[in-house]
Amino acid sequence: MPVDPPHHRMYEKHSEFESLMRILLWFATGFGCFEVTCILLVLYYLYSTNQGADNTTQGYILAATGFKRFSYGELKKVTHGFSEEIGRGAGGIVYKGTLSDGRVAAIKRLNEANQGEAEFLAEISSIGKLNHMNLIKMWGYCVEGKHRLLVYEHIKHGSLAENLSSNQLQWDTRFEIAVGTAKGKSPTGNLSFDHGGLTAHGRLVTWVKEKMNKAAATRDHSWVEEIFDPSLGCEYDINKMEVLVRVALLCLEEDKDSRPTMRQVVEMLASQQ
């Protein structure tokens, strides 16, 4: 009976080992590819879900506030790095920018404050409820990290405060602005919000009251001339001016129950038109 030589048996064992290793290698490679594919699918699912959640959140925010939410990067880009300043105040600095749709905007960068996102969005929502023909339209906002920005339409003729402080407006126009503002704040108007607390303190208010009270007995109107700002550079109706001052002082009464309603304010001012 023939017997295989030792080297032949060793060759067969080596071949079996190579076959086994080849099978294990293919299995490991296939399993590795399967595992990588699963990981990629999970990551894609998580990314898609996150994107969907972000879009849904954005949708909820848009529905709740009525405004678009901009990223800080977007607003930095449209203002060219906040390079064109067009105004500033106690609340922050206003910059001019052109949005992606071509609209020119006034972007107010608020001073840094420890205001949370929820509180900021609540205020934005309150602003969204204001509706008046003489109010500048708000288009959007940004709340990102410590950044808080508001996006308004750009008014090329400047703000109301700037116009009132200039000598370009005539007296009749100024009086119409006062009446229009009162109408907007009255319950019959479409602008409604909490007026907050008023204070009757201040040297200017005290000085005006003293002037008015001294002239009450003599019916001397010269006190009106004393308080009118001559830098406004316009003639004025002394009777209308006196009514404006008296109404303003009534609105600053320390006893809130003694203050007139906005409807009464409108009636007092409208009687002079």
Spell out the residues 6+ positions from residue 21 whose beta carbon is closer than 8 angstroms to its own.
none
**What residue numbers does the annotated binding site cover?**
108
DSSP state of 232: G
Q: Give the number of other Cβ atoms within 10 Å of residue 79's Cβ.
A: 19
C-alpha separations of 187 from 184, 238, 261 in Å: 8, 29, 9
**What residue numbers does the annotated binding site for ATP cover?**
108
Instruction: Give CA–CA dist 241/211, Å, rounded.
Output: 14
Instruction: Give CA–CA dist 141/70, Å, rounded.
Output: 6
Instruction: Give CA–CA dist 268/273, Å, rounded.
Output: 10
Instruction: Give CA–CA dist 139/216, Å, rounded.
Output: 49
Spell out the residues 6+ positions from residue 153 whose beta carbon is closer than 8 angstroms to its own.
103, 104, 105, 106, 136, 137, 138, 139
H and E: helices and strands count for the chain: 9, 6
The length of the chain in residues reads 273
Q: Give the number of other Cβ atoms within 10 Å of residue 128's Cβ.
A: 14
DSSP codes of every residue in 164-176: HHSS-S-HHHHHH
Enter the tokens of residue 27: 């299995």
